[in-house]
Amino acid sequence: MSVTQQQVLDALARVKTPRGVALTNANVLSPVAVNDGKVFFSINVDAAEARAWESVRAQAESAVRAIPGVATAMIALTAERKPGSAPASRGAPGVAPVSSHRPPHSPAGSPMARQAEIPGIAAIIAVASGKGGVGKSTTALNLALGLRDLGLRVGLLDADIYGPSVPRLTGIREKPELNDERKMIPIERFGLAIMSIGFLVEEDTAMIWRGPMVMSAITQMLRDVAWGTLDVLVVDMPPGTGDAQLTLAQNVPLKGAIIISTPQDLSLIDARRGLAMFKKVNVPVLGIVENMSYFQCPHCGTRSDIFGHGGAHHEAERLGVPFLGEIPLHIAIRETSDAGNPVVVSDPNGPHAAIYRAIAGEIREQLKGVIAAA
Ligand code: ADP
């Protein structure tokens, strides 16, 4: 028997808000999405009241889970500080308070000012691309490992909910467990704390997400996961620069973004769109990485600039953003990635690991102030 939206709303009508009214009458619910036994929605409240709402979120979750046929329920509590209200105190369980700290590039009143920091995480950075297939996820994972090699405590959140590839790239097959606070425990692999929507759904399940569900699922993966203390959380964004990506860039408290591009013109045009998107939401672009920059023969090591070369470097200069480095198109990178054993792990002393570490070094340099402050 499939679960209906009405069943979910009926269950939520029995949950009371801190003021004693039915949750469904409190004007705080996002649209409720029900798909194949999976229920997603968010409860949007003023940050000043967030602590009082955590138990409501928990009750709503229990009520939804109790409906026969519900396999998973992802219910996010999102907090927004209303103008003039007092800042929320740190440490409310299940919800990150809105911090008064703002990154230097985010003026008051900008979209960044509305985002709640995640306690324990010094810097969240996005790895984005204008389109799919440019090697964004492979680069995100290897850069996360490069940052780890620099002595940082690093997490990786695969937010590419349309095609999560981190389970394949890391070989992780197990599902995350819940801790006593009912937060998901990220899977620890290669010294990284890793979370992916791909751990929660079957690999072959076609995932069709509509706007609010995207944000709700990602908010939950960000905030209802016991990340612990991290210097950097690398977020592997969904490819492209559409509404879903823009909402994500706007709602995740990002300290910066890295754009992955291949040398072909088309993807550079897409990369420019990525830059424009982050600019719009006042997220500083830490730089562009050119992936599959040149072909390196696996036998003789000879370099061939088969796609033309230097486009991303040139474009970065023109746009005034740092150029972080170039990664060759090499079979070792593809084979190791696709075998769940990334090149920085499988060949830590090899030339490719060195390239990823060098780029990670540039990133660390740019985040130095933020990490040190935390
Ligand atoms: P995206 O996240 O942009 O869709 P992926 O990281 O999944 O891209 O990479 C797409 C394919 O390209 C994968 O098979 C991956 O192994 C391969 N790939 C990525 N970067 C490189 C590279 N520098 N050299 C060779 N193959 C690569």
What pLDDT is attached to residue 115? 64
> Looking at the structure, do residues 364 and 290 belong to the same domain, yes or no?
yes
> Looking at the structure, do residues 275 and 343 belong to the same domain, yes or no?
yes
Judge whether 302 lies within some domain: yes
Judge whether 108 lies within some domain: no
Between CA 172 and CA 200 the distance in angstroms is 12
Give the total number of structural domains in the chain: 2
> Looking at the structure, do residues 19 and 126 belong to the same domain, yes or no?
no
Q: Is the CB of 342 inside a 6 Å radius of any atom of ligand 1? A: no
* Host domain of residue 53: 5-94
Q: In this structure, what CATH number is given to the domain that contains residue 88?
A: 3.30.300.130
> Looking at the structure, do residues 86 and 129 belong to the same domain, yes or no?
no
Q: Is the CB of 245 inside a 6 Å radius of any atom of ligand 1? A: no
Q: Is the CB of 330 inside a 6 Å radius of any atom of ligand 1? A: yes
Q: Reduce the DSSP state of residue 43 to 3 states and report it.
A: strand
> Looking at the structure, do residues 135 and 86 belong to the same domain, yes or no?
no
Residue closest via CA to ligand 1's atom 17 equals 334
Q: pLDDT tens-digit profile of 178-216?
A: 888 888 899 999 999 999 988 876 655 545 565 666 777
> Looking at the structure, do residues 166 and 302 belong to the same domain, yes or no?
yes
> Looking at the structure, do residues 26 and 144 belong to the same domain, yes or no?
no
By most ligand atoms within 8 Å of CB, the mutation choice from 161, 337, 347 for ligand 1 is 337
What pLDDT is attached to residue 365? 95
Instruction: Read off the pLDDT of each residue in 74-80 and give the average, rounded to a whole number.
Output: 73
Q: Are 60 and 12 in contact (CB under 8 A)?
A: yes
> Looking at the structure, do residues 86 and 135 belong to the same domain, yes or no?
no
Q: pLDDT tens-digit profile of 45-60?
A: 877 777 788 889 889 9
Q: pLDDT tens-digit profile of 126-180?
A: 999 988 889 999 999 999 999 999 999 999 999 987 788 999 999 998 888 888 8
Q: In this structure, what CATH number is given to the domain that contains residue 176?
A: 3.40.50.300
Q: Is the CB of 337 inside a 6 Å radius of any atom of ligand 1? A: yes
Judge whether 240 lies within some domain: yes
* Centroid of ligand 1 to alpha carbon of 368 (angstroms): 29
Q: Is the CB of 335 inside a 6 Å radius of any atom of ligand 1? A: no
By most ligand atoms within 8 Å of CB, the mutation choice from 127, 136, 138, 160 for ligand 1 is 138
Q: pLDDT tens-digit profile of 279-330?
A: 888 899 999 999 987 787 778 878 777 767 777 788 888 888 999 999 998 9
Residue closest via CA to ligand 1's atom 14 equals 334
- The structure's pTM equals 0.72
Average pLDDT, whole number, for the chain? 82
Which residues are CB-neighbours of 160 under 8 A, at least 6 positions away?
136, 137, 166, 236, 237, 238, 239
Q: Is the CB of 65 inside a 6 Å radius of any atom of ligand 1? A: no
**In 159-316, which ranges are E strands?**
187-189, 192-196, 230-236, 256-261, 285-296, 303-304
Residue closest via CA to ligand 1's atom 27 equals 334
> Looking at the structure, do residues 26 and 174 belong to the same domain, yes or no?
no
Q: Is the CB of 261 inside a 6 Å radius of any atom of ligand 1? A: no
